[in-house]
A = this chain, B = another copy of it.
Amino acid sequence: MTEREVTEAALTEWRRSLGSEFVILDAVSRGQAETATFSTHQRIPAILRPANLKQVQDCLRIANAHGVPLYPISSGKNWGYGSRVPPADGCALLELGRLDRILDLNEQLGYVTVEPGVTQRQLHAFLQQRQSRLWMDATGSSPDCSLIGNAMERGFGHTPYGDHFAHVCGLQVVLPSGEVIETGFAQFPGCKTAPVGRWGLGPSLDGLFSQSNFGIVTRMTIHLMPAPERFEAFFFRLESADAFPALIEALRDLRLKEILRSSIHIANDYKVLGGLQQYPWEKTSGKTPLRPELMAEFRRELTIGFWNASGGLYGTQAIVAEGKRLLKRALRDVPGKLLFVSEKKLDIAGKFVKPFQMLTGWNLSRTIELAKPVLGLMRGVPTGQQLPSAYWRKRSPAPIDPNPDRDKCGLLWYAPLVPAEGTHVQRATEIVTQTMLEGGFEPSISVTLITARAASCVVSLNYDREIPGEDERARA
């Protein structure tokens, strides 16, 4: 069944440590864990569900003793990048969801300390319940994804704390040997600087454990921003494809000057359409991919720009007002429409969709539909709204409880980082667009200015795994 057999002796020891019900061998559970949003062939001989640090250590020691490789996951919602499937065959899955304690919250200094099972949804509810003045940063993925998992894979979100790995410290890590180390000032037991000082004393080790398999992070401190007095969002719709480099330059410049302090997301037309609806099977008579000529029709009909930028403005009334002024000035010569939206404005606007569209030509109802959860993300509210876009090429709508693995959604993410310069970004997106269309898929791209200097070109390749041959075509 698997290349490396897991011996009965290893299973017995794991059962003794975790309890039988947390050493999972049944074929259905294993089969689910072996399923991603693209073709995989790795087999998982067992799923281990430790409940605490000691059990994680036990799992590793037993695995070492019996020569079984382990693959740790937090919540396993890494859709598009491999879900829960280990990179190699025969790895036992170490599922950390039961380590789900929120250990510390400091309102004055702005941080929270969590275990790997703590999800976006859980932290958000916790802050609400505590009536905290702090905001978390959420990634656009499922509300049920793990905070530690996302930070250690260097995910990003939408607030000024969007570069997740840049806002964490004080890791507790179980090494492959089963030993535990703490990073930064946490190496000194009881050190009060552990949750606030990133670098510690001597070499800084945190980076070693990100995007790596050098250890399993079982605790982490995350810095949280205080809620600003005022928050407002901007949306910019680019009306000329040629002006894309100018848009990047203008936004990069404001980001460098820290007028824009959060990640700026710039989605192309295909990406926006995928957020609004499924593949237009009727209009295309069932043909794929969606050709640029038809996309142009959708742009006109739904008032979508070639590129659609959005971001937040945070601060006092005066600072947000100044940000708006500077944004207007910076985009003055870039052909397109700039709109500022506050949550209050959005609520009111919902009631005046028709007259607003007549006056401005902006299709507000579509905008609101897409904008509401985006505004939420900009203030750290997790949303499940972006997940249905994984069902783009399906023939039936996304279910209430979307699960792209289960529902055979085809989804491959690819996120190259390029310098935040107009020409670089333009070139990268051109290469992607051409390649995707030639391959028969829609070039769904969002460019995110994660920092002032670097843009992540997030490409999603969507398809339907139920159509024979699509897995192979996507991979090619």
Contact = CB atoms under 8 A, between A and B. Distances in A.
A88 interface: no
A136 interface: no
A204 B206 CA distance: 8
A27 interface: no
A24 interface: no
A207 interface: yes
Interface in A93-116: 108-111
Interface string A173-212: 0000000000001000000110111110111111111111
Given A203-B210, A322-B322, A226 B192 contact: no
A370 to B, nearest CB: 28
A196 B420 contact: yes
A390 B180 CA distance: 43
A454 interface: yes
A205 B315 CA distance: 34
Nearest to A226: B256
Given A111-B453, A205-B208, 17 more contacts: A109-B421, A110-B452, A165-B204, A166-B166, A193-B417, A196-B454, A198-B451, A199-B211, A202-B211, A203-B209, A203-B210, A204-B211, A207-B207, A208-B208, A316-B322, A316-B326, A322-B322
A271 interface: no
Contact of A154 (B199, B212, B452): B199
A252 B108 CA distance: 9
Contacts of A192: 418-419, 424
A228 interface: yes
Given A204-B208, A210-B203, A193 B419 contact: yes
Contacts of A10: none
B316 A160 contact: no
A269 to B, nearest CB: 26
B203 A212 contact: yes
A65 interface: no
A318 interface: yes
A193 B454 contact: yes
Contact of A203 (B207, B257, B322, B417): B207
Interface in A303-342: 315-316, 318-319, 321-322, 325-326
Nearest to A421: B108
6 shortest A-B CB distances, which residue pairs?
A204-B207, A196-B453, A203-B212, A318-B322, A196-B454, A197-B454
A206 B203 CA distance: 9
Contact of A109 (B166, B228, B259, B420): B420
A258 interface: yes
Which secondary structure characterizes the binding site on chain A? loop
Contacts of A319: 319, 322
A319 B315 CA distance: 10
A261 interface: yes
Contact of A453 (B154, B203, B223, B258): B223
A214 interface: yes
A202 B211 CA distance: 5
A208 B207 contact: yes
Given A223-B453, A419-B109, A210 B204 contact: yes
Contact of A199 (B165, B196, B199, B225): B165
Interface string A406-422: 00000000000111110
Contacts of A261: 258
Nearest to A321: B318
Interface in A275-326: 315-316, 318-319, 321-322, 325-326
Nearest to A249: B108
Interface string A421-446: 10010000000000000000000000
A418 B193 contact: yes
A258 B192 CA distance: 23
Contacts of A256: 110, 225-226
A151 to B, nearest CB: 11
Interface string A151-177: 000100000100001100000000000
B111 A417 contact: no
B453 A110 contact: yes
A94 to B, nearest CB: 19
A249 B196 CA distance: 15
Nearest to A207: B204
